């Protein structure tokens, strides 16, 4: 792995704002991003990446690489929660194991955005279909997690209908926003779309920096909240994303994908959801502790991926 890549990633302004947020929470500063502003920025980021991805997908069309990539994304979203669950079940209660497994089988849109910024800084393109891959990975992971909980936790057998779980998975605000924006980007007139380009592209990195500042504060606070679960969950939150990301970075070389797309797929495999999955698990697995699976995804795995993970996966992509 090239040391210059690691240094460049660590000194990225957006990441530095994340670290500033961690420092602010650690020293108990009164620095705060209003909840309504944070909600707006998160929706804006999803809107922007979805719309731009739709435009790119409209230009490229459905090629063999697009079809292979989407299929690989769905397979990953089903496999990762399966083996994660059986590792977690050794130390955690079944509902907790299922919820954490679903989170790690699903994806983090903000990690995806960070990876896009990483590639843009190196002037390396990635396909708009990677946004579709991200959107498609949410629901399968949630469904697998719920099915595993039902299979191994007898008390949870009929707590919630699968129809309700599916409805919550697909109508979750973040999923609906990115899928809807993707569709709009595909069908929009190219000339008309240029009219909103300053909003969809030019201010993107500024909003991302502010959002990561808030994420840093939230991550630092929530990391403290789950330390009583012990070393096992922390080690899992560190090693599992590295394993998933590195294996995908290596294996994707056999799929004849472009380097940028390989990195994005690796990041999707390595990331963990702290938005869509918690919303679904509140309905499907009420006995699972949000104080476990949200801090694992946000307080451990997210900062790992944007500091060490991105340059590591990129190094592997270039080597294979």
- Residue 75, Cβ neighbours under 10 Å: how many? 12
- Write the pLDDT tens digit of every residue in 126-155: 988 888 888 888 778 888 888 888 888 876
Q: Model-level pTM greater than 0.85?
A: no
- Residue 74, Cβ neighbours under 10 Å: how many? 16
Rounded to the nearest 5°, which phi and psi values hold at 178?
A: -75, -35
Q: Check which CATH number belongs to the domain holding 124 and give it.
A: 1.20.1530.20
Residue 167 or 9, more confident = 167
- Write the pLDDT tens digit of every residue in 49-93: 778 878 877 877 778 888 999 999 999 999 999 999 999 999 999
Domain tally for the chain?
A: 1
Tokens standing for residue 201? 């592209």
pLDDT of residue 240: 97
Whether pLDDT at 165 is above 90: no
Rounded alpha-carbon distances, angstroms, from residue 23 to 38, 84, 153, 161, 236: 19, 31, 40, 43, 24
Note whether 69 and 127 are within 8 A (CB). Answer: yes
Tokens standing for residue 41? 């920025």
Alpha helices by DSSP H, 34-108: 35-60, 64-88, 94-105
Domain residues for 55? 3-24+32-319
Task: Using pLDDT thresholds of 50, 70 and 90, give the confidence band for residue 217.
Answer: confident
Which residues, 6+ apart, have CB-to-CB distance to 227 below 8 Å?
234
- Write the pLDDT tens digit of every residue in 167-185: 766 676 767 787 788 889 8
Distance CA 67, CA 155 (A): 40
Rounded alpha-carbon distances, angstroms, from residue 54 to 57, 62, 181, 269, 305: 5, 12, 7, 21, 25
């Amino acid at each position: 792995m090239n040391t210059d890549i690691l240094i460049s990633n660590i000194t990225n302004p957006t990441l530095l704002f994340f670290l500033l947020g961690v420092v602010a929470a650690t020293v108990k500063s009164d620095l705060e991003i209003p909840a309504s502003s944070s909600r707006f920025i998160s929706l804006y980021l999803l809107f922007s990446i979805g719309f731009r991805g739709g435009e790119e997908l409209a230009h490229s069309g459905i090629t063999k690489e697009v079809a292979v990539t989407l299929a690989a994304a769905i397979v990953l979203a089903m496999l990762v929660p399966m083996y994660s669950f059986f590792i977690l079940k050794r130390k955690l209660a079944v509902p907790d194991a299922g919820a954490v497994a679903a989170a790690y089988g699903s994806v983090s849109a903000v990690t995806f955005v960070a990876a896009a910024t990483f590639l843009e800084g190196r002037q390396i393109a990635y396909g708009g279909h990677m946004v579709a891959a991200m959107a498609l990975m949410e629901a399968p992971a949630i469904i697998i997690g719920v099915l595993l909980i039902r299979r191994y936790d007898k008390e949870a057998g009929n707590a919630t209908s699968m129809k309700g779980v599916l409805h919550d998975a697909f109508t979750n605000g973040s999923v609906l926003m990115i899928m809807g924006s993707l569709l709009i980007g595909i069908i929009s007139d190219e000339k008309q779309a240029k009219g909103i380009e300053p909003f969809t592209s030019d201010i993107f990195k500024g909003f991302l920096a502010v959002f990561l500042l808030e994420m840093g504060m939230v991550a630092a606070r929530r990391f403290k909240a789950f330390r009583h679960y012990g070393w096992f969950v922390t080690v899992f939150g560190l090693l599992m994303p590295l394993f998933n990301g590195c294996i995908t970075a290596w294996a994707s070389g056999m799929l004849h994908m472009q380097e940028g797309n390989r990195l994005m797929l690796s990041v999707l495999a390595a990331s963990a959801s702290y938005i869509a999955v918690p919303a679904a698990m509140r309905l499907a697995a009420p006995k699972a502790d949000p104080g476990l699976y949200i801090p694992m995804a946000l307080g451990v795995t997210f900062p790992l991926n944007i500091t060490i993970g991105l340059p590591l996966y990129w190094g592997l992509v270039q080597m294979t």
